[in-house]
Homo-oligomer: A and B are copies of this chain.
């Protein structure tokens, strides 16, 4: 919801134009190089990702990058959007479980798995991309925060539905619970960035799930 508005507002006019019929054909696939760019941002953060590192990993040169994506900021937004489609979407899909408990468990487990998967950098681009930036790049931190807030909104919507269905422990607030789950997931991202093992994160999930059970 919030995310959608932000998405369309920011990306209108920035989406790739349709491929022209004449002229030298493009030698790279846009989504592929976006994935490579996302990995560099993921590993080094926005400000730590130099154009040299980006173009090197993407396998294209600077003029191609700028002709295609416009600027480093726009490239980041595109890469971040792609990251959402390919990575965050899995955790969100996990919310389609029948009960609040199973939805939260699936969310946290798939999140912990994604944070420690071997086929991409550890951690989460939404967190490592740039929690704190230099003043001229303050917009990057906002973009990332908006992405995280959007995921939290989806989580909250799912748990609100659960509350309506009487599927939450008595006295449990859906919004606070969504924030708790999201915060834990972000903390796991911080841990994963520092090299935490998957089992260690899952053990933390085990404990978190105790909080969702009704108490005596």
Residues of A within 8 A of B (CB): 42-45, 47-50, 53, 123, 127-135, 137, 141, 145, 148-149, 169, 172-173, 175-177, 179-180, 182-191, 193-196, 200-201, 203-204, 206-216
> Measured between C-beta atoms, what is the minimum distance from A110 to chain B in Å?
16
Bound form: Cα–Cα A42–B128 in Å: 15
Flag if B131 contacts A190 (CB, 8 Å).
Answer: yes
Secondary structure call for the A interface: helix
21 contacts between A and B (CB under 8 A): A43-B132, A44-B133, A45-B131, A48-B132, A48-B135, A48-B137, A50-B134, A127-B190, A132-B193, A145-B193, A148-B190, A148-B194, A176-B206, A179-B203, A180-B204, A182-B187, A183-B187, A184-B187, A190-B190, A210-B212, A211-B211
Flag if A44 contacts B134 (CB, 8 Å).
Answer: yes
Bound form: Cα–Cα A173–B188 in Å: 18
